Structure 1
Amino acid sequence: MSDYKVLFLDIDGTIIMPDDTIEDTTINAIRQVQEKGIEVFLATGRPLHEIRELAKELNVHSLIGYNGAFAIYQGKDLFQEPMNKESVKQFIDIAKKNQHELVLYTKDQNIFSDIETDGVKEFIEKFHLHKNDSYSPSNDYEVLGMTLINLKTKDTALYKHEDQIHLSQVNLEGMLHCYDVIRDQVNKGIGVQYVLKHLGLKKENAIAFGDGMNDKEMLLSVGEGFAMGNGHPDLFQYAKHRTTSVTESGIYNGLKALGIIE
């Protein structure tokens, strides 16, 4: 009997290929894992309201969204950690001052600083976002996550006003000017650790696959951490294993190497 009880999978660049499709081998791998009684979590920077269709397609009922700020286990809410409102306001002010755009993710919506710019329209199209609205200063938003849009590399320094927050470049072609805002105490790794504790599992019982720097903490929080072959170059040092790319059956090959699937 396998000691592996839970599998955490990033979505973009890990499950979903650059052409927005999913390889048959990936679907097959997830199905085989589920048949072995291993609980599968989708663990993403995306808001949960934008991944429910994918979860349904993959028959997955456990989710970690907003880079670790919200978790659901078998359809029931486990925890949620909104961002500090003063921090959110500071990010909005810096973005406005420097002609950057940003999106605030709430439990139900994606709130854009300016929904009409080309950069935002491209972002919405790339990630197939549906529940979009424009930011209104009069609204009191409960923000679970945030992505900055239209930044040059040097611009990231403008946002380093807080010690407990760092920026993670979105690891997708055409979206490298976008950065997820990651909290040191709220990230995919912290989310994974919470889930393992809730389920009474050890680190050694868990597997994870990811491709972006927002997956770093998650890969360090499991016994078997896999970086995708197409992963960010800086990610590999944090992974126990390096598998093939998302277009070359990365998840399937990694799980097969562990002897979990055929």
Structure 2
Amino acid sequence: MAYKILFLDIDGTILKPDHTFSDITKQAIASVKKQGVEVFLATGRPLHEISELAEELDVHSFIAYNGAFAIHQGKTIVNEPIPLKNIEQFIDIAEKNDHELIMYTRDKNYFTSLDRPFISQFIDIFDLKKNAVFTPDIMDKILGATVLNVSTEKVRLYEIESNLRLSPVHVNGAEHSYDILRKNVNKGYSVEQILSLLDISRDQAIAFGDGMNDKEMLGAVGEGFAMGNSHEDLFRYAKHRTATVADEGIAYGLKQLGLFQHA
């Protein structure tokens, strides 16, 4: 099979828990690029928080905000802000239940509060740089949202429409945090838009991920790899199970496909 495109989640897939990536991972990405494979970073993170990593890996195409925004070589392909009415509802639910929200725009991360310890911990875990307190004037610009300090039984409060689901943030130290996802706007949706635009079949597409926000993406490609450290519920959505991020899961998976020979 002549593979043409590769989608890579970041946290737990490229990046280890200490925010670093291995030389072998970088070599594997460079190797597939030399073979003419287009590489996308595909993340729940906001675009403004991944520029340094993208530069280090020499990757210039992105799916960000869990699929609400996508760029191919500088051209915007997907731009789907969360509906204003949903943002208003999320803020109201969070306020009534002692939760906190992070809302992501193209430029910053907006928090309902910056004063609580678990918020500082979340910022440290993801090394978030561009942070501010939420103001109503940015409500129509929000591309993604994460709710913090949520018990399992309260998750359903945010699933106020059939189109909405919460996905647990699959990173150590971020327990009780959930990404608010739309069933019709997710990483898989962006993958489908990109494949259509570039006239690439799903069988020519590869993806690696580790969290439940990756399930649609893994199902949208011909070769979906769940990292060995994945959320336990993700494996059934993936065609392959690879090694953990600490054990070079990307390189190991690409080697299985004959795309990398040095791992």
**TM-score interval for Structure 1 and Structure 2 normalised by the shorter chain:** over 0.9
Q: Distance in 1 between matches of 2:55 and 2:136?
A: 35
Q: Cα deviations across residues 194-250 of structure 1 (Å, max 9, x unaligned)?
A: 000000111001000000000000000000000000000000000000000000010
Name the structure 1 match of 2:26.
27
Q: Distance in 2 between matches of 1:163 and 1:53?
A: 36
Name the structure 1 match of 2:76.
77
Q: Which runs of 5+ in 2 are unaligned?
A: none
Tell me by how many angstroms 1:260 deviates.
1.0
TM-score by length of 1: 0.98
Name the structure 1 match of 2:238.
239
1:71–1:191: 8 Å Cα contact kept in structure 2? yes
Tell me by how many angstroms 1:177 deviates.
1.1
3-state SS, counterpart of residue 141 of structure 2:
coil
Structure 1 window deviating more from structure 2 (59-68 vs 70-79): it is 70-79
Structure 1 window deviating more from structure 2 (69-78 vs 87-96): it is 69-78
Name the structure 1 match of 2:121.
122
Tell me by how many angstroms 1:159 deviates.
1.4
Q: Distance in 2 between matches of 1:63 and 1:161?
A: 29
Q: Distance in 1 between matches of 2:171 and 2:177?
A: 9
Residue 110 in structure 1 maps to residue 115 in structure 2 = no
Q: Cα deviations across residues 101-160 of structure 1 (Å, max 9, x unaligned)?
A: 110001111010001111111111111111111012355441100001111111102212
Q: Distance in 1 between matches of 2:189 and 2:246?
A: 28
Structure 1 pair 140–235 and aligned structure 2 pair: CA distance change class (3 A): closer
Structure 1 pair 197–138 and aligned structure 2 pair: CA distance change class (3 A): closer
Task: Show structure 1 runs of 4+ deviating over 6 A.
Answer: none
Q: Which runs of 5+ in 1 are unaligned?
A: none
* Aligned-partner residue type, residue 147 of structure 1: T
TM-score by length of 2: 0.97
1:71-220 paired onto structure 2 within 5 Å: 71-220=70-219
3-state SS, counterpart of residue 233 of structure 1:
coil
Q: Distance in 2 between matches of 1:51 and 1:76?
A: 17
Output the aligned Cα RMSD. Answer: 1.0
* Aligned-partner residue type, residue 25 of structure 2: T
Q: Distance in 1 between matches of 2:107 and 2:159?
A: 28
Tell me by how many angstroms 1:100 deviates.
0.4
Name the structure 2 match of 1:48.
47
2:81–2:140: 8 Å Cα contact kept in structure 1? no
* Aligned-partner residue type, residue 62 of structure 2: L
Structure 1 window deviating more from structure 2 (172-181 vs 235-244): it is 172-181
3-state SS, counterpart of residue 259 of structure 1:
coil
2:80–2:143: 8 Å Cα contact kept in structure 1? yes
Tell me by how many angstroms 1:261 deviates.
1.2
Among the aligned pairs, what percent are the same residue?
54
Q: Distance in 2 between matches of 1:158 and 1:79?
A: 28
Alignment coverage as a number of residue pairs: 261
1:62–1:75: 8 Å Cα contact kept in structure 2? yes
